[in-house]
Amino acid sequence: DNKKGRDNNSKHSPNNKPPPTPIIVPTTTATPTLPPKERKLIDFRNKVYIAPLTTVGNLPFRRIMKHFSADITCGEMALSDQLLQGKPSEWALLKRHPVEDVFGVQIASGHADQYTRVAEVLANKEEGMEIDFLDMNLGCPIDLVCEKGAGSSLMLRERKLRGSLEGMLRVLECPVTIKMRTGWSENQPIAHQLVPKIQSWGIDGIGAIMIHGRSRLQRYSREAKWDYIAQVGLCQKPDLPQIPVIGNGDIFSYTDYEEKILDQIKKGEEGDGDGCANNLLPTAMLGRGALIKPWLPTEIKERRHWDISATERMDMLKDFVRFGLEHWGSDQQGVNQVRRFLLEWLSFLHRYVPVGLLEVLPQYMNHRPPNNMCGRSDLETLMLSRNCADWIKISEMLLGPVPEGFLFEPKHKANSYQKV
């Protein structure tokens, strides 16, 4: 007992002060966050934009388009599953040339997780991918793509579309654009319903929505419906942030651009849009028109019908071959690649009818030169030919003789294409 008393007294004695209470510094395991970077949107107004073009919209072709004053270019459609498998041929579709000062890539997928994973790779600075926007493909009508839930099928799968947009824009610093058609079938267009629904999701970073004025089942047949495109431009809710709308389809001359786009914008501003703003932009988005008339951007900007000579067109093809050999290589495999893509392009180029041969200006997209049409020179006549053998002859003028037994049939066919 005495011992216990002594112990108790010693605890409170002046020589045995209780230890000081430790100072606890609060710690946190949260990673400090930097302020979000401002997303730089693309101003498409009063620009010539070359749409993504499968097979023929390759890098050498886009260099030609830049030479003819195109403002904005986009790579060919790339499939997300092929990209995620690391296929070099698919990643090559996203390659950018230094002359492409405003450049986007187009991705097709039917799954939000694939879109997001591709976006993560593109956003990784260590990968060296420099893009100004990413375009979602909701317009491809090809069965192989639609059967995977991608392309035009994604227009019918709103949850997948929303999840894809949210996933990509969480990781990308650039805007996302959406390329779609009027709908699945011509008689049941849905773009005018889908666009305000996308607007209502309130997802920040959607740079523009591009509307091709045909349905998926139409593919490329019949004329694009510009009245409907104008309707889509007026369909957004006025009390929500507006998304720019860009029309696409059948622009084949500067007069087409002014009549189909500028006049539609003017009508929308003058008419009663039920209080809705007119979001249709004065943008010349060119697809097949650029394939058939690569100098079309110059015509639009200079407001003229250019009677380009056969010699000037041959010089353009020489540039394409030179750019192609730089891009694909100058060995035999590279030469074969250049020839193949040149022939694919010639399957479109022959549809152009020189201005000096037209009775009435301008030529329209669905106009074709008659069989066996004669030009003003032997070279111009050769370039007007629908005969595949003549396209091969042009390639031999630029790349030398083809191998024995060489055959060619265009890979990229529209509904209106006639086999030759």
Helix spans in 201-292 (H): 226-233, 254-257, 263-270, 288-292
* Catalytic, out of 140, 174, 235, 388: 140
DSSP string covering 135-183: EEEE----HHHHTTT-GGGGGG-HHHHHHHHHHHHHH-SS-EEEEEES-
> Residue 361 to residues 251, 284, 332, 355: CA-CA distances in angstroms?
14, 19, 43, 7
Match 């894809």 to its residue by tokens.
164
Q: How far is CA 188 from CA 70, 108, 140, 145, in A?
A: 34, 23, 18, 21
Tell me how far apart the alpha carbons of residues 124 and 78 are, in angstroms, rounded to a whole number. 18
| Distance, CA of 414 to CA of 201 (rounded, Å) | 35
Calculate the CA dihedral of residues 140, 212, 119, 96 and round it to 10 degrees: 90
Give per-residue burial for 375-406: e unless 16+ CB within 10 Å, then b.
Answer: beeebbebbbbbebebbbebbeebbeebeeee
In whole angstroms, give the CA distance from residue 343 to residue 395.
7
Strand arrangement, sheet containing 245-248: 48-50, 284-286, 245-248, 206-212, 176-181, 133-138, 103-108, 73-79
63 in Cβ contact with 97 (< 8 Å):
yes
Active site residue 140: yes
Question: Distance (Å, rounded) from C-alpha 380 to C-alpha 383?
Answer: 5
Q: How far apart are CA 295 and CA 313, in angstroms?
A: 9
Between CA 316 and CA 65 the distance in angstroms is 10
Q: Cα torsion at 37, 135, 79, 346 (round to 10°)?
A: -140
Which helix (DSSP H) or strand (DSSP E) does residue 286 occupy? Answer: strand 284-286
Hey, which residues are catalytic here? 140
